[in-house]
Amino acid sequence: MTEEPKGKFEACLRIMEEIEAGRERVGTNVFTIAEIFHILTSRERMKPSEAKEKLSAFLDCAGLKLMDVHAELCAPSLALAIDHGVDFVDAYNALTMKKYRINEIYSLDSHYNKIPGMKRLERI
C-alpha cells in the first residue's frame, strides 16, 4: 500500500500478489486493519477515502481471512505485552496465532522476535 521500506517493497509486493491470487493463505484481524488505516492516513498523509479503497482491495484478497477478535485474549495480551516489551496489538496477534495453531507471521516488525514461539518469516 506504500513503497516503504524501500529495500523490502518488491518482496512484500510478491507476497501480496500471492495472497491476492489465493496461492498464499493468511489471516489478520481488525486491530491490524486499524493500524494500517492509521499509518496510511497519518504517516503517509493519504486521504481517508483513498486508504479505504486500498484496504477494501486488501480485504477482498482471495487468500486473506479476516479473523474474529476474542475478548478473552485481551487481559493475557496486556500481560504478554508487558512481559516481552511489545505493543498490545503484537501481543494480541501472537495469542490469536497460538489459539489457531499458526506459528509463522509475515511482518516487518521485529518485535515479534521477542515473543517465544513466534516465527517471523524472513522472505520479506
Whether the Cβ atoms of residue 57 and residue 102 lie closer than 8 Å to each other:
no
| Phi, psi dihedrals of residue 101, rounded to the nearest 5° | 60, 40
28 pLDDT band, cuts 50/70/90, is very high
pLDDT interval class at 5 (50, 70, 90): confident
pLDDT at 123 over 80: no
Give the whole-angstrom CA distance, residue 65 versus residue 26: 6
Predicted pLDDT of residue 31: 95
Mean pLDDT of 90-113: 93
Among the listed residues 87, 112, 82, 85, the one whose alpha carbon sits nearest the alpha carbon of residue 98: 112
9, 89, 29, 38: CA torsion to nearest 10:
-60
Contact between 99 and 71 (Cβ < 8 Å) = no
pLDDT at residue 90 greater than cutoff 70: yes
| Cell digits of residue 57 | 482491495
Mean pLDDT of the chain: 92
Q: For cell 505485552, name the residue.
A: 81
Tell the residue number behind the cell numbers 489457531, with chain if given: 100
pLDDT in tens, 30-68: 999 999 999 999 999 999 999 999 999 999 999 999 999
Helix, strand or coil, per DSSP, at residue 115: coil
